[in-house]
Amino acid sequence: MKKTSTRLADGRELIYYDLRDDLVRDAVDRRPLERTVTTSEVRRDPLLGDAVAIASHRQGRIYHPPADECPLCPSQGERLSEIPDSSYDVVVFENRFPSLAGDSGRCEVVCFTSDHNASFADLTEEQARLVLEAWTDRTSELSHLPSVEQVFCFENRGAEIGVTLGHPHGQIYAYPFTTPRTALMLRSVAAHKEATGGENLFDAVLERELVEDRVILESEHWVAFVPYAAHWPYEVHLYPKRRVPDLLGLDEDARTEFPQVYLELLRRFDRIFDGPGGEKDGAGEPATPYIAAWHQAPFGALDDFEGVSRDDFALHLELFTIRRTSGKLKFLAGSESGMNVFINDIRPEAAAQRLREVASS
């Protein structure tokens, strides 16, 4: 992997990650951009104790541009985009309309490929491995920023999820606090550790899932399963079998095996609905909307979670779709949005069976 860091016209950082070491990335951003002005701030809810990012400047962000005006495609001639070069393998840059900025953290965009019409599932194993290396490198770099306490790599896919740019891409949020969902996990880990005399909760969960009938894929170093209490109609958790707190902890064997496992999982997601071909988008391609989210241990102090260290946390990826059946979405209505009590329309064991049936060819 070759890494090249440069600056866009408004001062934002952009980083090329290349498969070849001989590529030179010296293209200059020729757009007449002024420096980005953000109004991001984090406010804490005194009743719930969680944090809300207020980012009113995001109202002006680009919204569903036509394909020939996509800001994530490479620049070509006088058609200038966020990526100055005419091609790229993987590229990461600071978001022009960040939810978090300055002392409130940082937001980055990760473009998985220069091919506008592709998806992550279309990548080769070599390309997917490069994305993994980019996620890992950014996790390392962002963790050293003084304002950052937790790094979150994720992909939103599909208009139903709220994606406003059709190009295959994900994002990285670097939060100045431990997120509420992670805090819930850490509290559960602490309580379980105390109640069992030191047993790790993540290890116990994984041990249980390995012998249940919800496993989707299992390899030497990874296992994917539908969790016992899945919140979403089709939800899969992907764990390395050796517990590590973050992407930095993965060894070479796990990194090498990850692309084949993850690509197989994504391709099965594209076959869940409407038979072997899956539901199609306007271009005739599989289009299951999903969120793929990496959960990593916070890099800040864990003083609020007595007896728990970073090493007690288990890196894992959670992948889920908001579609419950062909043409129907799972809406977060009164119980979910009002009380955070999920109601799942599909039995997790049935979801697991469906995902086993649609093994990609």
Catalytic residues: 169
82 near 96, Cβ under 8 Å? yes
In terms of DSSP bridges, do strands 328-329 and 41-44 run parallel, antiparallel, or are they unpaired? unpaired
Q: Give Cα 285 distance to the centre of its chain.
A: 22
324 near 198, Cβ under 8 Å? no
Instruction: Calculate the alpha carbon distances from 202 to 179, 215, 237, 251, 318 in Å.
Output: 18, 16, 12, 19, 14
Provide the terminal-to-terminal Cα distance of the chain, rounded to the nearest Å. 29
One-letter amino acid at 43 equals R
Q: Give Cα 65 distance to the centre of its chain.
A: 23
Question: What value does the CA radius of gyration of the chain take, rounded to a whole number of Å?
Answer: 20
User: Residues with Cβ < 8 Å from 346, sequence gap 6 or more?
Assistant: 233, 234, 324
Return phi, psi of residue 298, to 5°: -65, 155
